[in-house]
């Protein structure tokens, strides 16, 4: 009997685990069926191969969709079914419907015909699944290219941001085959794009036009902004993949994860004058587009050249802060050539359409030239960006903001700005700048009274002449209302009671803008207790109680005064 009880417990636990998910463990072919998840808001797990043919429709109502690692483990269609003509798209439909952030995860093959991300306009689809190329080339005809997900017809971006696995840039990308495409609810925007990598690939058997009939826009950017790249040119090469993603940071110090081969450590593409083609004086340090063309089933990920010219048009970051010293005509699109270790001019004598965010800059990658990255350069020596990394993180109920500058020109100070909605910002502090600098400078500021819940931060640099530029926006989630601390009533008219599980040194009453409007010093024993606070003199509205404990910690509670 003593052996039976643990066995029963294990069986109960196993049943409990699987009762929380939709689980497929037997290989099946679904023919013209309507299927959906058993539960809502849990996980769907595929530990086998499920093939959908002839108009099968699947409703994903779970928060997570996982395909396990294994030979043949996958979410498959006619596209990778040899018996049905591999490489030919079908008319199956997948709809992701859980209203909230979703995840497509695992290490398996995931093929969609039409797929809808109907998860809510403000929600993120996180694609962390990745799949490497096969070790033998004939299986590429089965329609199993490397990537996070493969789209054979259309992807409908009815969500907000979509992310891919940046540690697997090629093997985790969203792959669009032949003339498969995407449809946005609006135009590409800062709110709706791919934070990660996107690939094109062609298959001979596919009935669609190869290479998107000569033009494709890669909907890429970072976590807050879109910097799309358009490719125009003949791309009919069967079994070759082209992968593009935006990478934040100075291309001279930030690793190019694809580089000359798809390796985890990446490569660095130096931007000093010795690595610039004649006529190019500087390269923007704001970021670059990772460009990687390879044989799809090459496990080494060796970058090769395209056999035809490709015209590239990019959407640039905001460079208006340099409008006094830089003209749009100074800008050039440059490409990193690993064969010569040089950033080469792709634009000739043509400049950009402007300096504001979304202005366009174009150039041509010549046939037969290997390129592994694309960046913005200038024909004068202006270093085109001030900011480096900017991070925001909670530390003991405070918000620690840290940022860097690579260069500073005429820089007076930085405004530290905070927002509740990510749109309307208030300045909560100023930090002095270095004036003029060509070396990396590091700065930090601690917001001692952050807002409860989600807060948004950015740093705005102000020149002595009033010109300014800002970092991307960063957000943090703050929850410092501990179980041992309570304030009641809330909302309150004139008086509240504070009950604490530890000794309190001081209570600061802050406005939502961060200004201190009242201070109170209670007398509590080392074990805590309770006390009353009268704030009859304050106007009605929302306030923050910043409770400074004697052990050095800080708690924040939102309070509404009637």
Evaluate whether residue 353 is within a structural domain. yes
Rounded to an integer, what distance in angstroms lies between the CA atom of residue 106 and that of residue 70?
10
pTM: 0.69
Q: In this structure, are 150 and 254 located in the same domain? A: no
- Indicate the number of domains in the chain: 4
Region at 223 (left for phi over 0; alpha for psi -120 to 50; beta for the rest):
alpha
What b/e readout covers 352-378, taking b as 16+ CB neighbours within 10 angstroms? bbbbeebbebbbbbeeebbbbbbbbbb
Range of weakest confidence among 196-200, 287-291, 507-511: 507-511
pLDDT of residue 138: 47
* Average pLDDT of the residues of the chain: 85
Provide the CB-side half-sphere exposure for 185 (13 A, CA).
14
Instruction: Please give the pLDDT value at position 93.
Output: 98
394 and 513 in a single domain? The answer is no
pLDDT digits (tens, 9 = 90+) for 450-462: 776 788 999 988 8
Of 301, 288, 299, 222, nearest in space to 258 by CA: 301
Encode pLDDT of 484-501 as tens digits. Answer: 677 878 888 888 888 776
pLDDT tens-place string over residues 402-452: 998 877 777 889 999 998 888 888 998 999 988 877 677 899 998 876 776
- Flag whether 241 is in a domain: no
Tell me, yes or no, whether 1 lies in a domain. Answer: no
pLDDT average, residue stretch 470-474: 84
Q: Among 43-47, 206-210, 266-270, which is the least confidently predicted range? A: 206-210
Residue 506: which CATH number?
2.60.40.1930
- 326 and 455, same domain (yes or no): no
The answer, yes or no, to whether residue 313 has pLDDT greater than 50, is: yes
pLDDT in tens, 504-533: 888 888 888 788 888 888 765 544 566 788
- Which of 355, 383, 411 is the endpoint of a domain? 383
Whether residue 294 is found in the same domain as residue 191: no
pLDDT at 5: 42
Q: Which residues is 525 bridged to in the sheet?
A: 528
User: Is the pLDDT at 337 greater than 50, yes or no?
Assistant: yes
Question: What span, in angstroms and rounded, lies between the C-alpha atoms of 428 and 308?
Answer: 53
The reply to whether 153 and 34 lie within a common domain is yes
Residues 93 and 222 in one domain: yes
Q: Which of 383, 400, 416 is the last residue of a domain?
A: 383
Residue 242 in any domain: the answer is: no
- In this structure, the answer to whether residues 294 and 367 fall within a common structural domain is yes
**Claim to verify: residue 226 and residue 102 sit in the same structural domain:** yes
More confident residue, 422 or 141: 422
**Residue reference for tokens 């004598």:** 349
pLDDT at 72: 65
Measured CA to CA, the distance from residue 105 to residue 91 in angstroms comes to 24
Q: What is the mean pLDDT of residues 362-372?
A: 98
Q: What is the pLDDT of residues 121-140, one digit of tens each?
A: 999 999 999 998 875 544 44
Q: How far is CA 437 from CA 258, 374, 404, 412, in A?
A: 32, 26, 12, 12
| Distance, CA of 394 to CA of 474 (rounded, Å) | 12
Asked if 124 and 42 sit in the same domain, the reply is yes
Tell me if residue 176 falls in helix, strand or coil: strand
Same domain membership, residue 348 and residue 369: yes
Residues 379 and 391 in one domain: no
Domain presence at residue 3:
no
Residues 404 and 514 in one domain: no
Does residue 178 carry a pLDDT above 70?
Answer: yes
pLDDT at 15: 40
Domain termination residue (choose one: 383, 411, 446) = 383
CA atoms of 71 and 69, how far apart (whole Å): 7
Q: Which domain holds residue 555?
A: 486-561
């Amino acid at each position: 009997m003593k052996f039976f009880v643990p066995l029963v417990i294990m069986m109960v636990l196993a049943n409990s685990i699987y009762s929380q998910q939709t689980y497929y463990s037997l290989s099946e072919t679904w023919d013209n069926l309507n299927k959906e998840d058993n539960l809502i808001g849990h996980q769907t797990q595929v530990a086998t191969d499920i093939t959908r043919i002839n108009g099968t429709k699947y409703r994903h109502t779970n928060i997570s969709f996982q395909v396990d690692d294994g030979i043949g483990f996958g979410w498959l269609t006619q596209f990778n079914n040899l018996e049905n003509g591999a490489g030919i798209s079908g008319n199956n439909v997948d709809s992701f419907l859980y209203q909230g952030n979703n995840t497509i995860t695992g290490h398996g093959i995931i093929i969609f015909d039409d797929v809808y991300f109907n998860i809510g306009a403000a929600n993120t689809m996180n694609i962390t699944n990745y799949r490497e190329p096969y070790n033998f080339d004939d299986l590429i005809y089965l329609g199993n290219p490397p990537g996070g997900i493969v789209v054979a017809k259309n992807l409908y971006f009815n969500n907000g941001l979509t992310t891919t696995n940046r540690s697997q840039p090629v093997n985790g990308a969203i792959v669009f085959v032949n003339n498969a495409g995407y449809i946005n609810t609006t135009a590409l925007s800062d709110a709706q794009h791919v934070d990660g990598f996107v690939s094109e690939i062609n298959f001979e058997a596919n009935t669609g036009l190869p290479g998107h009939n000569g033009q494709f826009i890669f909907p890429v950017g970072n976590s807050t902004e879109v910097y799309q790249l358009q490719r125009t040119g003949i791309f009919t090469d069967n079994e070759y993949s082209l992968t593009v993603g935006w990478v934040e940071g100075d291309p001279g110090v930030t690793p190019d994860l694809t580089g000359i081969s798809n390796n985890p450590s990446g490569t660095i593409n130096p931007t000093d004058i010795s690595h610039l083609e004649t006529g190019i004086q500087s390269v923007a340090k704001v970021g670059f587009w990772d460009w990687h063309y390879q044989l799809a089933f090459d496990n080494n990920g060796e970058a090769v050249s395209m056999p035809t010219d490709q015209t590239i048009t990019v959407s640039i970051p905001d460079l208006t802060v340099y409008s006094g010293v830089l003209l749009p005509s100074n800008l050039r699109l440059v490409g990193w050539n690993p064969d010569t270790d040089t950033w080469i001019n792709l634009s000739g004598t043509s400049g950009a359409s402007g300096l504001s965010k979304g202005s366009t800059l174009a150039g041509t990658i010549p046939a037969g030239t290997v390129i592994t990255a694309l960046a913005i350069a200038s024909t004068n020596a202006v270093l085109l960006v001030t900011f480096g990394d900017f991070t925001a993180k909670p530390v003991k109920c405070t918000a620690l903001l840290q940022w860097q500058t690579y260069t500073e020109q005429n820089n007076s100070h930085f405004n530290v700005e905070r927002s509740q909605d990510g749109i309307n910002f208030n300045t909560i502090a100023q930090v002095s700048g270095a004036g003029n600098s060509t070396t990396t400078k590091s700065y930090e500021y601690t917001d001692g009274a952050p807002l409860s819940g989600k807060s948004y931060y950015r740093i705005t640099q102000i020149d002595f002449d009033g010109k300014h530029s800002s970092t991307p926006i960063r957000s943090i989630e703050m929850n410092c209302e501990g179980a041992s601390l309570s304030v009641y009533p809330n909302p309150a008219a004139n008086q509240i009671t504070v009950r604490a599980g530890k000794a309190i040194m001081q209570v600061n009453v802050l406005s939502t803008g961060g200004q201190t409007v009242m201070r109170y010093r209670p007398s509590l024993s080392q074990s805590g207790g309770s006390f009353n606070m009268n704030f009859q003199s304050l106007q009605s509205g929302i306030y923050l109680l910043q409770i400074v404990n004697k052990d050095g910690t800080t708690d924040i509670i939102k309070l509404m005064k009637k």
